[in-house]
Structure 1
Amino acid sequence: MENSNHFGKVYLIGAGPGDPGLLTVRGKSILEKADVVVYDRLVSPGVLSLCNPKAKMVDVGKMPTHHKVKQSEINKLLVKFAVEMPGATVARLKGGDPFVFGRGGEEALELVDAGVEFEVVPGVTSAIAVPAYAGIPVSHRGIATSFHIITGHEKAEAGDSLSLDFENLAKSQGTLIFLMGIANMDFIARRLIECGKDPKTPLAFIEKGTTPNQRTVMATLETAGETIVRENVTAPAITIMGGVVELGKTLAWKKNLPLSGKRLVVTRAAKQSSGITARLTALGAEVIETPMIETRNVLPYCHAELPSCIANSYEYDTAELADLADFEDLKDFDILAFTSTNGVESFFEQLFTAEYDVRELAGKKIASVGKITEKKLLEYGIRCDYVPKDHTGEGLGLLLREVVDDESRILLLQGNLADDTLLKLLPKATRWIVYETLPIAELPDWKREAIASADAVVFASSSAVENFAQISSLSSFVSRLSFCIGRMTEASAKKHGFETVTSDETTMDSLVKKIVEYYTMGENA
């Protein structure tokens, strides 16, 4: 069939072996704009989190003992999406590389037959990357000048024999790398020995390679079967055989970091989560970014055409209109008080949109609720005059009440969910609502599954705790441990039955330090 420009385009994308950092730049750019993502079991949550949040996510994952969706059905599904969604970007996301035992060729042939345009985006194959993360080079001068990638997963054509050329494999002097073969490895090892392979050949099983749960188990060809049982080696794992395996004892560079093997759920708003995610990931954790809230700017009061100004925001009643930012009145205030980084970003974005600039703040004192907000203000070139030692709304209110006189005109820059703590402490202050906080109503299935087995959840606000608790399907969350920033967040978490570990200061640095201390000093310390 001739290609039709009326169809969507399918991209066969290799997700790599697990570490999201090994996804190619090309693959990431396509996932970010994809309309549909058809993904496999071995694609890590970290990679899935890079997908367009509005994409239709379709799990066709295959388990070692059964297929969730048959390959023939997957092939037809890709064609169906492309035909029924003209102009759409359809991403077929596969672990490793789509053309290395990924059956990507079968999918491509089906697309060709249907006249659907496609593109292959190669991925880093686990056959090379996983040994590298274990310090095992697949080739090394003087030891192995070739390597061979073999599927250990194929079913026997007849009797009890896999359809592999054991005679030639046993004679090979190169490195042998078996993918997907743990269930058959005892048989494979015995057949290689029968065909003349040295029983003392070094061998390594590498589980969950390139992830925080990576584990390497050493053996020899003759002890392969008993080692799998004794060490409980499970899929996903690769098996590598040959002299290069010995180098792993010297070259293993991926050390166990303080948070290795820990899966942490980070609930910060999407635009704020990257900083703490990067820190926790660098310390060895697998981070599942799961924003519970999202923020949106509230457009300022418009003297000319109010309805058009707030068309993309929520509808205000008369009382709420009084709380909108009105930059014509900014000159009337002596002190600007910021209670969050969201407030800082929204205020300045609105200021610039209204065709003002930072000169409007000349002569005004600036107050911040804490160090994080203070740091955000510095990004705009603004230094704070007042920061309370107690980084709470109450602390800020008490400080301002102490240091300013009764004639000072104070402007509070807050969100729509802010309580009245500051207004009660500073009854003459004016409040502008510069952003609104909206709860995340739904989570994709893959994220729910990842969260269910997490070791802990990280909360940075009370609103995140409340929304997390309200999503009933998260009741399967196995751990009740939470890491909290600030006393208000801690109180909300306790209210919903979480065990809490709270940072000493209301900063991300302090929170990360507390998480590391908890796991390195003993979970009962």
Structure 2
Amino acid sequence: MTSRAAPSQAAPSRAFVSLIGAGPGDPGLLTLKGKEALSRADVVLFDYLANPELLLWCPQARTIYVGKKGFSEYISQEQITALLISTAQAGAGQRVARLKGGDVYVFGRGGEEAEACAAAGIAFEVVPGISSAIAAPAYAGIPVTHRELARSFAVLTGNVREGDAHYERLSGVDTLVLLMGVRNLGTIAADLIAAGRSPDTPAATIQWGTTPEQRTVTGTLSTIAAEVARAELEAPAVTVVGEVVRLRERLRWFDKAHSGPLAGRQVAVTRTREGGSGLADLLRSMGANVLEVPLIRYAPTSEPETVRAVLNDLAWVKWLLLTSQQAVVSLFAELDEAGLDVRALGHLKLAAVGPATARSLWEHGLRADFVPRTSGARHLGAELPAAPGEALLHFTSQVAEAELQEALEARGLDYVRIEGYRTEAAQPAQNELERLRNAEVVTLASGSAARHLAALAGTEFTVAVMGPQTEAAAREAGFRRVVVAENPSLEALAAAAVRAILEP
């Protein structure tokens, strides 16, 4: 795979590794430099705590899951480091991104991976990330420092062997932040008390901080382990010990902002490999824990000569039919490849299958001449104000639904279809498929998405679909529990997802 370098930066002539901190879980907390490094990567190795949604910034890259979870490792650190080096050495100019949860150097073993790169003579960079040590408490309403309560803090690992903690050295530190300490929390708390901390010191444990799954329990140093066990909190979790915990009830904000109808519920949003979906933002605003799953990728047409020949001779066409936003994007890409611009469409009438496609045309400076009252290929075919003898050109993908052609030909209209782009299956990473199977509802915006989901993961899902055409495709693919959006909008599809979860 060819590396895609940023416009201002040439591709490297030798292997290059980016060690990137993915942040604590909220995909919005990835740094701009981290996003840039991902966009240039040929291969991405990502771990258990790196939000897989961050992979939307590297659609061209091959992704490798190297997840480790607590004491149940899928792959050892030594194996990960060896894989990182061998992957970087696999080809000249290979760009490899190592995406690590939190910050690269804060208990992330990034130092070991950097040492391995240096020893192998591989150029590398370190892109710091936001550590859960400060982000999880902040999202829980706990500042780790405060002028009146805490002038210092320390970040500790909870993975310590007996006798190695030396907590008495921390007697002057106001706030303690413990990472990876849930399993040993009772022992750690007892050792801190033995080292001089008051048993009544406020404490809080935050699980899955900064994500919609975030859960927080509070107590004191003497009770926090029991409170965590009672709430059944598990890793990943951060524990804060200090007077700043008292501020939580006044400063908690994330819990309240994510208390909508889908608070804590699991929703999968299917999308293209090339980009994210505004639907995910709507669902998150309702409190959902959203997984964006790439089921589809768009590729250039397999018939470029034919497409460009047609675009250079559109005199015979009366109506140009566009049935997706991607059709609009690909149309303008192919015009550019043919050395043409919007003037080539000047004599045509433009028909859009629905408001979203019409909006995409508008963004390119064109107004649709016709949009059916109800979105969908069947309605477009039935309502299009074309007369017999007027040639209709449908610019679409190789998997266009037959409904439009059948409706138009039933009216005696001349219909020609051209493959302007290709819709292909995208292969999600293994851990994305594992998380997908935990989703309470999966949203589908196209028939292609329905078919690809069925092929990849089966049909034992509740699905919320965009319109009757997608509903028909989903039922044909074998999905039995299908909830249909009331109109073809992202808001309606989000509402359908709510109904799918909350209504029996």
TM over 0.5: yes
Q: Distance in 2 between matches of 1:196 and 1:395?
A: 75
- For 1:268, what is the secondary structure of its paired residue? strand
Evaluate the alpha carbon distance shift between residue 260 and residue 435 of structure 1 in structure 2; reply closer, same or farther with a 3 A threshold: farther
CA shift, 1:432, in A, is: 3.5
Q: Identity over the aligned pairs, expressed in percent?
A: 38
Listed as ranges, the gaps of 5+ residues in structure 1 are 301-308, 311-320
Distance in 2 (CA, whole Å) between partners of 1:147 and 1:397 is 66
Match of 1:125 among 128, 131, 137: 131
1:27 matched residue in structure 2: 34
Structure 1 residue 339 displacement after superposition? 2.2
TM superposition shift of 1:328:
4.9
The code of the aligned residue for 2:30 comes to L
What is the CA–CA distance in structure 2 between the aligned matches of 1:394 and 1:410, rounded to whole Å?
15
2:369 corresponds in structure 1 to 385
Residue equivalent to 1:502: 484
CA contact (8 A) 2:485 2:493 kept: yes
Segment drifting more, 180-189 vs 346-355: 346-355
Give deviations 1:182-228, integer Å, cap 9, x for gaps.
11111111222233322211111000001110111111111122112
Matched, 1:431 2:403: no
Distance 2:333 2:492 in 1: 29
Call closer, same or farther: CA 1:23–1:327 in 2, change over 3 Å.
Answer: closer
Pairing of 1:58-73 with structure 2 (within 5 A): 58-59=65-66, 61-73=67-79
Match for residue 78 of structure 1?
Answer: 84
Please tell me whether the aligned partners of residues 39 and 57 of structure 1 are also in contact (alpha carbons under 8 angstroms). yes
CA RMSD of aligned residues (A): 2.7
- 1:317 aligns with none
Residues 334 and 35 of structure 1, relative CA distance in 2, 3 Å threshold: closer
1:93 pairs with one of 99, 108, 114:
99
Structure 1 range deviating more: 106-115 or 251-260 = 106-115
Give the partner amino acid of 2:150. A
Contact 2:312/2:338 (<8 A) preserved: no
Q: Against the structure 1 CA distance between its residues 106 and 455, is the aligned structure 2 distance closer, same or farther, given a 3 Å change threshold?
A: same
Counterpart residue number, 1:304:
none
Mapped to 2, the partners of 1:110 and 1:405 lie a distance apart of: 70
The alignment partner of 1:430 has SS state of strand
SS at match of 1:222: coil
* Range moving further from structure 2, 388-397 or 64-73: 64-73
How is 1:196-275 mapped onto 2 (pairs within 5 angstroms)? 196-254=196-254, 255-258=257-260, 259-271=262-274, 273-275=276-278
User: Is 1:149 the counterpart of 2:155 in the alignment?
Assistant: yes
Q: Once the 2 structures are TM-superposed, how far is the Cα of residue 483 of structure 1 from its aligned partner? A: 0.8
Q: 1:86 to 1:175 in 2, by over 3 A?
A: same
* Alpha-carbon shift at residue 6 of structure 1 (Å): 8.4
Post-superposition shift, 1:56? Answer: 4.7
TM-score, length basis structure 2: 0.88
- Contact 2:320/2:393 (8 A) holds in 1: yes
Q: In structure 2, list runs of 5 or more residues that go unmatched.
A: 1-11
Match of 2:315, SS? helix
Listed one character per residue, the Cα deviations across residues 159-188 of structure 1 (whole Å, up to 9, x for unaligned) are xx4x1122233x335111111101111111
CA deviation profile, 1:278-309 (whole Å, cap 9, x unmatched) = 33344443433333333334387xxxxxxxx5
- Quick one: distance in 2 between partners of 1:331 and 1:116? 57
Matched-pair contact (CA < 8 Å) for 1:337–1:368: yes
* Amino acid in the other structure paired with 2:130: V
User: What displacement does 1:467 show?
Assistant: 2.0
Q: Contact (CA 8 Å) 2:65, 2:429: kept in 1 or not? A: no
1:424 maps to a residue whose letter is E
**Contact preservation (8 Å) 2:327, 2:421:** no
Distance 1:25 1:390 in 2: 41
Q: 2:323 aligns with which of 319, 336, 339?
A: 339
Which residue type is aligned with residue 267 of structure 1?
T
Shift of 1:334: 3.2
**Residue deviations 1:253-282 (CA, integer Å, cap 9, x gap):** 112243332333222333464332333344
Corresponding residue SS for 2:85 = helix
TM-score scaled to structure 1, two decimals?
0.85
Using a 3 Å threshold, how does the CA distance of structure 1 residues 430 and 14 change in structure 2: closer, same or farther? same
Query: 2:192 matched to 1:192?
Result: yes
Displacement of 1:337: 2.7
Give the corresponding residue for 1:486.
467
**Number of residue pairs aligned between Structure 1 and Structure 2:** 486
The verdict on how the C-alpha distance between 1:423 and 1:64 changes in structure 2, with shifts beyond 3 A counting, is same
Structure number, greater radius of gyration: 1
Partner of 1:523: 503
Match of 1:68, as an amino acid?
Answer: Y
Assess, with a 3 A threshold, how the Cα gap between structure 1 residues 452 and 349 changes in structure 2: closer, same or farther: same
